Amino acid sequence: MGALVLATVMSAGVASYGWRYRDEPSGRWFIALTVSAGCWSLFEAFFLLADSPFTRLLWFVLELVPAESSVFFTLLFALETAGYERWVSRRTAALLAVWPVLTITGAATNALGVHALLWKSLSFATVGGITATEIVLGPLFWVDVGYSYVAIGTALVVLGIHCLRSRQIYKKQALVLFVAILTPAVVGAVYLLFPFSPVNPIAVSFAATSSLFAVGLSRYRILDISPIARDLVIERMADPVVVVDRKDRLADSNPAARALFDASLSSLGSPVADVFGVETASALESGGELRVVDDNGEARHFEVDRSAVTDGRDAVRGHLHILHDITERRVRERWFRALTENASDLIFVLDADGSVTYLSDSAAQTLGADEDPSEVRSLARFLHPDDEDAAIETFRESLERPDEDATAELRFRSSTREWRVFSVRCRNLLDDPVVGGVVVNAHDVTDRRKHEQQLETFANVVSHDLRNPLNVAEGYLELVKEAERPDPDHVERIEAAHERMGEIITDVLAVARGGTVDERETVSLDAVAAEAWTNVETGTATLDIAESASFAADRTRLLQLFENLFRNSVEHVGDGVAVTVGATRDGFFVEDDGPGVPPVDRPKLFESGFTTATDGTGLGLAIVRAIADAHGWSVGYEDAADAGARFVIRGVERDGDSDSAQESSAASSDDA
């Protein structure tokens, strides 16, 4: 009697523990199985305690309900747990339940005397307080026994197959369920062949079954993830799965892992470093990123998801490693990195507060960010002070209208300490889970703005400076047409107007071509200066060559540079101006003995269209700067020693400089 009570209590306890898994299919069948087993043990106890033939017969019949249900639920639980859940449906359950219902109905009608299919005679006798049952079994009973053992046998077969397939730490989990279901089946078979107790031993054996279930639940967590169904969970995963035990031995792997590392099942139990290599073993241990070269020589990248496998006592039994293929992501990252590193545009990502969360390499190089780009938190120190308000307004506009791009033109200080103009476009991607910020793309339009200014200058020249001599020529041409005998003075004025238009056109073309240099050749400073002097109407002006030098330059463009400097001196000082040309350490200079340039005019001296002469185009010195820039030189203004104007060209590499550098390098090598 105590054994039946113990079996009932243990079954109830296991069922209550499994209640937390009631939402899982296998959990529902498990609860039904343990409740049925507990009721079987309880009803057997009531049967033994019954004190009248009618009560005993009643409990004898009622005991068949949990008995038949236990068989039914055992089969369904085994199928669900072993990974054959596709066989467990409402239709399957209904078909499997037909026989148990017929058996229970047959027992009730047999007890009422309607037939004698389950038992032919049934009597009870109490000897020494123990109720003994004398029964002559009918044919339907043996059919029911056959059904029960077919169902239990099927359950054991599917569990046995998966038990054999399970390896290492999974085998114990699989074995617990197999033995728990096998125990009452074996006890029942022995009892049928050799009745050895007045008490139904199957009901008593549920104490052992419940104990095994308790061990499986508490130590191996058989209902958390069905370990028997690892064929579905792990074997069929596309991601490689590797299980390593506490001694760093390969405990398990799925087909994807074995194919990736060209391993076999025979390698189970071997050290991971021997099977997969030291690098892979280290990556698995650290749980970082793993790089594997496949048979085709292509590199694949995997992110290792590492988690501990613990038992019911929270002791670590090993580690489970799932390798997620991130090759495509790494390829996209390399593509994006190469794109941003080689792009001329500046790319920033700002958060909702305007702080920098990403700065492209091109932006860091262009702006001259000395520190780690990831440490740059604000763009304010790169912005022109006059553009800060416009930048803030553009950013605020992108926040307020996320569906539209906000644009502006802002000036940023470059690594060369000059202000460059950028066309800025802001795209609000704060809600994008990948970006999570405002993307700022800045395209350098400095050169375009300069060209636009040049075009504007050209337009002014055409509309104003070129129109003046044209109007003069047209006016005197009308006078010539109206006169019977043309006045020679009128013809001379027409010729002078045409010459003036030719000069203006030449200057405009020179500025337009200023950014180009043809093939360079070695030139002599004194020879080019002397030739340029003869090309300019200098009147009584004089030229003095203080010191000559040789260097590489486009001779035609260099002649234009000197011609414009000479013409500038003659136009602003007069015919008697004395002009001096000489070489410097890194270039040359052209100076005159005139009054020089007032300080207020010096900042605009080389701008297109700026002139202090009444008939000047303002393009002469702009041509000088354009030619110097095209050669990679720089031009500046200084006061001459005698207060005249001095224009200095710097950055010119003399022919002797490179030879001297080579000789110095060779000498150093010899000394070494």
For the stretch 415-438, pLDDT in tens is 777 888 899 999 998 888 878 888
pLDDT at position 226: 46
The whole-number average pLDDT for the span 279-295 is 82
Please give the backbone phi and psi of residue 444, each rounded to the nearest 5 degrees, phi first: -70, 115
| 3-state SS assignment for residue 13 | helix
Chain mean position to CA 318: 31
Phi, psi dihedrals of residue 601, rounded to the nearest 5°: -90, -10
pLDDT at 663: 41
Rounded Cα distance, 528 and 551, in Å: 11
Is the pLDDT confidence value at 217 over 50?
yes
Amino acid at 382: F
Q: What is the per-residue pLDDT across 442-462, written as a single tens digit (0 to 9) for each?
A: 888 887 887 777 677 666 656
Exposure of 596 in the CB half-sphere (CA atoms within 13 A)? 13
pLDDT of residue 235 exceeding 70: no
Tell me the pLDDT of the chain averaged across its residues.
80
Give the mean pLDDT of 351-356: 86
Q: Are the beta carbons of 198 and 130 closer than 8 angstroms?
A: yes
Rounded to whole angstroms, how far apart are CA atoms 622 and 87?
A: 89
**Whole-number pLDDT of residue 659:** 45
Residue 321 parent element (H or E): strand 316-325
Res. 525: pLDDT tops 90: yes
- Assess whether pLDDT exceeds 80 at residue 129: no
What distance in Å separates the CA atoms of residue 536 and residue 288, rounded to the nearest whole number? 76
pLDDT classification of 666: cutoffs 50, 70, 90? very low
Q: How confident is the model at residue 551 (pLDDT cuts 50, 70, 90)?
A: very high
What per-residue confidence (pLDDT) applies to 454? Answer: 65
- Provide the pLDDT confidence category of residue 375 given band limits of 50, 70 and 90: low
Which whole number is the average pLDDT over 155-163?
Answer: 83
Strand, helix or coil at 101?
helix
Which H or E run contains 307?
A: strand 299-310
pLDDT higher than 60, residue 526: yes
Q: Which residue has the higher pLDDT, 363 or 407?
A: 407
Report the chain's C-alpha Rg in angstroms. 50
Q: Are 515 and 626 in contact (CB under 8 A)?
A: yes
- Taking the C-alpha atoms of residue 487 and residue 480, their distance in angstroms, rounded to an integer, is 7
Q: Which amino acid is at 206?
A: F
User: Rounded to the nearest 5°, which phi and psi values hold at 429?
Assistant: -120, 35
pLDDT digit string (tens) for 2-42?
778 887 888 888 888 888 777 777 788 888 898 988 888 88
What pLDDT score was predicted for residue 662? 41
**Buried/exposed 84-102: b ≥16 CB within 10 Å, e otherwise:** bbeebeeeeeeebeebbee
Rounded percentage of the chain residues whose pLDDT exceeds 90:
14
Q: What is the pTM of this model?
A: 0.42
Residues 6+ apart with CB under 8 A from 43: 59, 62, 63, 65, 66, 203
73 SS3 class: helix
Lookup: tokens for 186 = 């074996």
